[in-house]
Amino acid sequence: MSSSEPRSRRTALVALAGLPALGLTGCGFALRQPPKLAFASIALTGFALRSPLAAELRQRLAQQVRVLDTADGADVVLQSLEDRRERSVVATTSAAQVRELQLRVRFTFRAHTPAGRDLIRRAELLVARDLSFAETVALAKEHEEAELFREMQSDVVWQVLRRLAAIEL
């Protein structure tokens, strides 16, 4: 057995591993891109001081437009009316132990011009997920809950971006 055999085998394996990626690029597959916005600046108002939803919205919007803290000089004002994370028990055992939770992210907002003309009337987005629960793995379930909230928040942000993209000034 020569020393070049393992090297050629590794080269063949690497080439085989890259074939699925080549197939995806040829079929037109592309990562999801944020929708194109028809305005140059936006102000985020009404959010809580350390709102994780506001932080993610600010980050996503800043990739395309200028994000301002006040309505002065903004083309669009996105006003948060309600930004809430909810957690409720939906199933318990006969011994009153929690078995299933429902997690919800509720975001109510409106978009308007600085002059007050409605661009998006009051809208509510609600994303819910069920989470099984066991006392024996409480720490793991806590981490799973935090991850679910992050995913639901990202879902809400994408929905808001799609609605903002539909605005015509």
What HEC string does the chain produce?
A: CCCHHHHHHHHHHHHHHHHHHHHHHHCCCCCCCCCCCCCCEEEEECCCCCCHHHHHHHHHHCCCCEEECCCCCCCEEEEEEEEEEEEEEEEECCCCCEEEEEEEEEEEEEEECCCCCEEEEEEEEEEEEEEECCHHHHHHHHHHHHHHHHHHHHHHHHHHHHHHHCCCC
pLDDT at 144 (0 to 100): 94
Q: What is the pTM of this model?
A: 0.77
Residue 130, domain member (yes or no): yes
Number of structural domains in the chain: 1
pLDDT beyond 70 at 88: yes
Residue 84, domain member (yes or no): yes
pLDDT beyond 90 at 82: yes
Q: In angstroms, rounded to a whole number, what is the distance separating the alpha carbons of residues 8 and 15?
A: 10
From the list 115, 119, 132, 101, the residue with the least C-alpha distance to 167 is: 119
Residue 23, domain member (yes or no): no
pLDDT at 27 (0 to 100): 75
Residue 82, domain member (yes or no): yes
Single-letter amino acid code for the residue at 93: T
pLDDT at 94 (0 to 100): 87
Q: In angstroms, rounded to a whole number, what is the distance separating the alpha carbons of residues 110 and 73?
A: 18
Q: What is the mean pLDDT of residues 13-27?
A: 64
pLDDT beyond 80 at 68: yes
pLDDT beyond 70 at 139: yes
With left for phi above 0 and alpha for psi between -120 and 50, is residue 46 left, alpha or beta? left
For the domain that residue 127 is a member of, what is the CATH number? 3.30.160.150
Domain coverage including residue 105: 36-165
Residue 26, domain member (yes or no): no
Residue 4, domain member (yes or no): no
Q: At what angle do helices 52-61 and 138-165 cross, to 10 degrees?
A: 40
Q: What is the mean pLDDT of residues 100-111?
A: 96
pLDDT beyond 60 at 24: no
